[in-house]
A and B are shown apart, each in its own frame.
Chain A
Amino acid sequence: MPARLSRRKLAGYAVAKILSGSPKKAVIQELAAYLVDTGRTRETELVVRDLEEALAARGVVIANVVTAHPLTASAKAEVEKLAGAKDLQLRETVDPEVLGGIRIELPGQRFDGTIRRKLNALKANKV
């Protein structure tokens, strides 16, 4: 049975392999196999978050973006400018429920500028 490594070390190892040019799919499969082998599949979400933080620390930022309509090129440019990363990878989700505006989730921070949030805040402003 392989030695038990911390999530941070696992994330650092995987990010180093990906940035060194190893195929992403192979690295991810290796990481998944390790988690299965060590019985830590419950930590998958946390490992993914650590991976994103490790990538962000090396200038590769993965941003989750939720909008009501698909992002236009100019909107993407503004988001990239906001993230301030040399390599930004957007994970776009179109959700009509947000009605309008944008929600951006970056490693370690979250911004919600959707109409849905404003309406929820209005509803929550009860006396």
Chain B
Amino acid sequence: MVTQFASAQTEEKADILTSLGIDWTLLGLQLVAFLILVWLLGKFVYPVFLKIVDERQAKVEEGVKAAENAEKKAGEAQAKIEESLKTARSEAADIVSTAKAEATRMIEKAETDAKKRSDRIVAEAHESLEKDVIAARKALHNETLNLVAQATEKVVGKTVSSKVDESLISAAVKEAK
């Protein structure tokens, strides 16, 4: 019964494949054609695609490397910029410091010059004053001499009598000897 059932089943199976339209010959031919197609693709098409993919991958890697290089260079440039900025800040600080020192020096010089100028002005004023005083003293001296001479002249002209004159003459003659 079982064999019968199995034979019945096998027959039933063959009938199913047939009913599904599967033809073992056609399937073999299709398999061969598929293998030929695979071989052709592997021989002529895949290498081209693989080559393109490899090239693309190489380009991508190259781009990545370039990007890495660029990033590295950018980092270096940033470092250089920071170094330059640091140097520039240092120089600017030096310049500011020098400018402050120069300004301080100029202010001190201006103060010194102003003091010298004021001292000179004061000295000149003193000198001028002294000259004026000397001139006034001279004028006073000369005026006094004139006044003394005039007063003496007036007094002597009125008071010298013959007798006094005789004694003056006697003194003068003695002086002449």
A3 within 8 A of partner (CB): no
Separation in Å of the B97 CB from the closest CB of chain A?
63
Q: CA of A75 to CA of B146 in the docked complex: distance in angstroms?
A: 31
A29 within 8 A of partner (CB): no
Q: CA of A114 to CA of B172 in the docked complex: distance in angstroms?
A: 8
B1 within 8 A of partner (CB): no
Q: B141 and A102: CB pair below 8 A?
A: no
How does the 8 Å CB contact mask read for B112-150 relative to A, with 1 for contact and 0 for none?
000000000000000000000000001001100110110
A122 within 8 A of partner (CB): yes
Query: SS class of chain B's interface: helix, strand, loop or mixed?
Result: helix
Chain B residue contacts of A104, Cβ below 8 A: 173, 176
How does the 8 Å CB contact mask read for B42-62 relative to A, with 1 for contact and 0 for none?
000000000000000000000
B152 within 8 A of partner (CB): yes
Chain B residue contacts of A125, Cβ below 8 A: 145
Interface size class of B (residues with CB under 8 A): 20 to 34
With A100-B156, A101-B165, A113-B175: A78-B145 Cβ-Cβ less than 8 Å: no
Q: CA of A99 to CA of B150 in the docked complex: distance in angstroms?
A: 12
Q: A99 and B175: CB pair below 8 A?
A: no
- Of the candidates A67, A123, A126, A127, the one whose C-beta lies within 8 Å of that of B169 is A67
Chain B residue contacts of A79, Cβ below 8 A: 173
With A79-B173, A127-B138: A101-B146 Cβ-Cβ less than 8 Å: no
Q: CA of A127 to CA of B141 in the docked complex: distance in angstroms?
A: 8
Chain B residue contacts of A74, Cβ below 8 A: 166, 170
Q: B172 and A101: CB pair below 8 A?
A: yes
Q: CA of A119 to CA of B149 in the docked complex: distance in angstroms?
A: 6
Chain B residue contacts of A82, Cβ below 8 A: 173, 176-177
Q: CA of A101 to CA of B169 in the docked complex: distance in angstroms?
A: 5
A79 and chain B: residue at smallest CB distance:
B173
A18 within 8 A of partner (CB): no
Q: CA of A75 to CA of B169 in the docked complex: distance in angstroms?
A: 7
With A102-B169, A102-B173: A126-B156 Cβ-Cβ less than 8 Å: no
Chain A residue contacts of B177, Cβ below 8 A: 82
- Of the candidates A81, A100, A111, A119, the one whose C-beta lies within 8 Å of that of B165 is A100
A65 and chain B: residue at smallest CB distance:
B169
Q: B142 and A101: CB pair below 8 A?
A: no
B160 within 8 A of partner (CB): yes
- Of the candidates B141, B152, B169, B171, the one whose C-beta lies within 8 Å of that of A119 is B152
Q: B173 and A72: CB pair below 8 A?
A: no
Q: CA of A101 to CA of B165 in the docked complex: distance in angstroms?
A: 6
Q: A69 and B162: CB pair below 8 A?
A: yes
Question: What are the 4 A-B residue pairs with the smallest beta carbon separation, nearest first?
Answer: A113-B172, A100-B160, A111-B176, A126-B142
A-B contact pairs, 11 of them (CB 8 A): A72-B162, A78-B169, A78-B173, A96-B157, A100-B164, A101-B171, A111-B176, A113-B175, A122-B145, A126-B141, A127-B141
